[in-house]
Amino acid sequence: MHWVGERDREPKAAHPIRVLVVEDESVVSKDIQESLKGLGYAICGTAFAGEEAIQKAEALQPDLVLMDIVLKGDIDGVEAAETIRSRLHVPVIYLTAYSDEHTLNRAKVTEPSGYILKPFDERELHTTIEVAMYRHTMQKKLKESERWFATTLKSIGDAVIATNTEGRITFMNPVAELLTGWNHAEALGNELSDVFSVRDQDGCILIKNPVTKVLEDGVVVDLRNSLLVGKEGTKLIVDDSAAPIVDDSGNIVGAVLVFRDVTERRKAEDKRAKMNGLLMAIRNMNESLLRVKSEPELFQQICESLATVQNFNLVSISLVDKDRYEIRPVAHAGTEEGFLPLCNFTWDELAEGRGPIGTAISTGTPCVVNDTATDPCYTLWKPEALKRGFKSTIALPLVNNGEVMGSLDVYSGEKDAFGPEEIEFLMEAAGDITVALKSLRLEKELASSLVAVKKALTKTVEAIAYMSEMRDPYTAGHQRRVAKLASAIAREMRMSEEQIEGIRVIGFLHDVGKIVVPAEILSKPGRINEAEFSLIRTHSSVGYEILKLLEFPWPVATAVLQHHERLDGSGYPGGLESGQLTIEAEILAVADVVESMASRRPYREALGIEKALEEISQKKGSLYNPRVVDACLKIFQEKGFQFEEPV
Ligand SMILES: [Fe+2]
Ligand SMILES: [Fe+2]
């Protein structure tokens, strides 16, 4: 028994080859049938005429038809074979006694699977049938495979174009038709560059066709972000790659180009990058807003931060000048090139007032010009704007307590640059600017009022000190000199400027309680008795009582109360010890003793600075804070401290 494709070792269906025998001579037909049976084939039917052959072939679906060319009836074997082959795809072998040129040519056109001349030889019949069946099976497989490839290429999401070695199109799938605007039929045979025309992303430079390079060099070529210009002028951004088609011998027989539309993806990526840029710029801006010390610096920082955003070609801030009815630019960053002074923006009813800035200021809402070339409200500024590449612009009002104080303006190098997200971001930036501006102005007001208050306080303190010393000429200037020394000690001890200022004030006021001591006692020459001394010792408590009524930002009253206390508890009025005293009182105690000993008193001559320093050195740690003593010695001995007046 014979099996289909015996030489093909793949498993096959187990049935003999079924042959339809078409022969008008019944004797010959029988002979053929016998031979076929003898060779192991099955006879599924016989026919004597062309029409009958077609009908039987349709009804019986044979694996093979053996066809005589000359038949009785209207249709001869060639015609019948053509119908059977094309309609049923059944292989046909001619078996004929005729071998003239004309008949052969007619038969050839029908692409027969074999041609056997009568009288036939069984071996030849066998071989011809086997070869015909093998070829038929192979062709069927090839067709299936081609169908599979074609279906795959048609159904994939990427566009595919194949070319021959000359770069002419041999195939394109539906996605390629859609993206290029060319249909398959009209594109076939065209040069690839006619159908697939790519430029750089800006559309300016024509890019060399990737397939040309593939065919020249035999390498795979990848291109990203090319601009594909379609048949109707449509523009798409595509990523593409082209690879050579190589035959079994390694020869390049064509190229295949695969590309996809990435326009939306690229747009989304660009948008995301732009948003990130904007976010970074606003973050940088907010960080710098915390550091700025003046309004011009604030405006400049904002403009510079925002001008870092891609396509934000110019960023400016303008403030409203109510007196002149003008909008005055105060800062800018980016490509200005003299643009702002030319603009002459206002917010009145004239044309100049109807621009984006005027509108933003008069309405208190952002105003966008999506296309400076076509927006009628931008006609006045259009020529200068376009000269500098400003294709769209936005103005955002800077609103403080319901009052529009100016505008933040951004000019972009692309049209339609300000979508809802950009507007939201920029409005947030405008809000941050207003807050920063407000706090800067408040800070300035506070600073100036603090300066005024401090000035008044200093004058008050000096007046009180002066008043108390008026009654006591011998200690005139004592408090001022103590203040100077005490604050110098505090500075040497690296205390804060605020604390140093407090110590200076305490020094000025520390003996204010002597106001209750009669002037005669204070200026009495010679020794004073115990009762008089007791009265004098009340001055620190009295000073405390007076000063506690005043609200100082420093512990003035407490330090005054403690300035005659000593570390070992031997001082007055509380007999307090180390650890219970404020540092201000400890500094004041040292400064007070040094100044007193160095000065003349009604009851004695000046002892001199050397004696004074000796005294505090000896009592360092027992009566006086060692750190304070060390600082005091250092400023006299190493830093040349002197009281203003000769002592
Ligand atoms: Fe005192
Ligand atoms: Fe004193």
Question: What confidence tens digit (pLDDT) does each residue in 78-96 have?
Answer: 889 988 888 888 999 988 8
- State whether residue 439 is helix, strand or coil: helix
- Domains in the chain, please, with CATH? 18-151 (3.40.50.2300), 156-261 (3.30.450.20), 269-443 (3.30.450.40), 471-637 (1.10.3210.10)
Mean pLDDT of the region 264-283: 86
pLDDT of residue 298: 86
Q: Which ligand is nearest to the CA of 486?
A: 2
Cα(450) to ligand 2 centroid in Å equals: 29
Report CA-CA distances (Å) from 519 to 473, 474, 601.
9, 10, 14
pLDDT of residue 25: 87
- Is 21 in contact with 32 (CB distance < 8 Å)? yes
Find the DSSP H helices in 493-565.
497-509, 519-522, 530-537, 539-547, 556-562
Q: Which ligand is nearest to the CA of 571?
A: 1
pLDDT of residue 350: 61
Cα(511) to ligand 1 centroid in Å equals: 5
pLDDT at 207 > cutoff 80: no
Cα(282) to ligand 1 centroid in Å equals: 59
Cα(610) to ligand 2 centroid in Å equals: 19
- Is 33 in contact with 23 (CB distance < 8 Å)? no
Cα(505) to ligand 2 centroid in Å equals: 13
Cα(493) to ligand 1 centroid in Å equals: 23
pLDDT at 288 > cutoff 50: yes
Cα(479) to ligand 1 centroid in Å equals: 9
Q: Which residues surround ligand 2, an ion (CB under 5 A)?
A: 511, 592
Cα(552) to ligand 2 centroid in Å equals: 20
Name the average pLDDT for the chain. 86
Using CA atoms, how far apart are residues 500 and 107, in angstroms rounded to an integer?
122
Cα(567) to ligand 2 centroid in Å equals: 18
Cα(451) to ligand 2 centroid in Å equals: 29
The residue among 104 and 615 whose pLDDT is bigger is: 615
pLDDT at 10 > cutoff 60: no
Cα(457) to ligand 1 centroid in Å equals: 22
Using CA atoms, how far apart are residues 322 and 300, in angstroms rounded to an integer?
22
Measured at the alpha carbon of residue 387, what is the angle toward residues 385 and 391, in degrees to the nearest 5? 50
pLDDT of residue 637: 93
Cα(176) to ligand 2 centroid in Å equals: 100
Cα(496) to ligand 1 centroid in Å equals: 25
Cα(510) to ligand 2 centroid in Å equals: 6
Cα(515) to ligand 1 centroid in Å equals: 12
Cα(475) to ligand 2 centroid in Å equals: 8
pLDDT at 6 > cutoff 60: no
Instruction: Give the chain's count of helices (H) and strands (E).
Output: 24, 16
Mean pLDDT of the region 228-247: 86
- State whether residue 1 is helix, strand or coil: coil
Cα(563) to ligand 1 centroid in Å equals: 7
Q: What is the pLDDT of residues 516-564, one digit of tens each?
A: 888 888 877 777 888 888 999 999 999 999 998 888 889 999 999 999 9
Cα(454) to ligand 2 centroid in Å equals: 24
Rg over CA atoms, the chain: 54
Cα(502) to ligand 2 centroid in Å equals: 17
Using CA atoms, how far apart are residues 22 and 70, in angstroms rounded to an integer?
10
Mean pLDDT of the region 363-373: 90
Cα(478) to ligand 1 centroid in Å equals: 10
Q: Which ligand is nearest to the CA of 540?
A: 1
pLDDT at 646 > cutoff 70: no
Mean pLDDT of the region 178-185: 90
Spell out the SS3 assignment of 261-287.
ECHHHHHHHHHHHHHHHHHHHHHHHHH
pLDDT of residue 569: 95
Find the DSSP H helices in 120-207.
122-155, 174-180, 184-187, 192-195
Cβ contacts of residue 131 below 8 Å, gap of 6+?
Answer: 113, 114
Cα(635) to ligand 1 centroid in Å equals: 22
Cα(314) to ligand 2 centroid in Å equals: 66
Long-range contacts of the stretch 79-87 (C-beta < 8 A, 24+): 79/50, 80/22, 80/50, 80/51, 80/53, 80/54, 81/107, 81/110, 81/112, 82/109, 82/110, 83/54, 84/53, 84/54, 84/57, 85/110, 85/111, 87/54, 87/58
Q: Which ligand is nearest to the CA of 539?
A: 1
Closest of 602, 631, 596 to residue 615, by C-alpha: 596
Cα(566) to ligand 2 centroid in Å equals: 14
- Pairing mode of beta strands 235-246, 252-261: antiparallel
Using CA atoms, how far apart are residues 432 and 172, in angstroms rounded to an integer?
56
pLDDT of residue 439: 82
Q: What is the pLDDT of residues 100-154, one digit of tens each?
A: 788 778 888 777 888 888 888 888 889 999 998 898 888 888 888 888 887 887 7
Cα(72) to ligand 1 centroid in Å equals: 152
Q: Which ligand is nearest to the CA of 479?
A: 2
Cα(465) to ligand 1 centroid in Å equals: 13
Cα(592) to ligand 2 centroid in Å equals: 5
Cα(540) to ligand 2 centroid in Å equals: 9
Q: Which ligand is nearest to the CA of 597?
A: 2
Cα(149) to ligand 1 centroid in Å equals: 109
Using CA atoms, how far apart are residues 435 and 292, in angstroms rounded to an integer?
13
- As beta bridge partners, residue 162 has 171, 256
Cα(539) to ligand 1 centroid in Å equals: 7
Cα(619) to ligand 1 centroid in Å equals: 18
Cα(636) to ligand 1 centroid in Å equals: 22
pLDDT at 11 > cutoff 50: no
pLDDT at 12 > cutoff 60: no
Cα(559) to ligand 2 centroid in Å equals: 12
Measured torsion, CA atoms of residues 568, 574, 576, 582, in degrees rounded to the nearest 10: -120
Cα(495) to ligand 2 centroid in Å equals: 22
Mean pLDDT of the region 273-279: 86
Q: Which ligand is nearest to the CA of 536?
A: 1
pLDDT of residue 456: 81
Mean pLDDT of the region 579-601: 92
- Pairing mode of beta strands 114-117, 92-96: parallel
Cα(455) to ligand 1 centroid in Å equals: 25
Cα(560) to ligand 2 centroid in Å equals: 10
Mean pLDDT of the region 155-162: 87
Using CA atoms, how far apart are residues 137 and 400, in angstroms rounded to an integer?
87
DSSP 194-259: HHSEEE-TTS-SBPPPHHHHHHHH---EEEEEEEEE-TTS-EEEEEEEEEEEE-TTS-EEEEEEEE
Using CA atoms, how far apart are residues 8 and 1, in angstroms rounded to an integer?
16
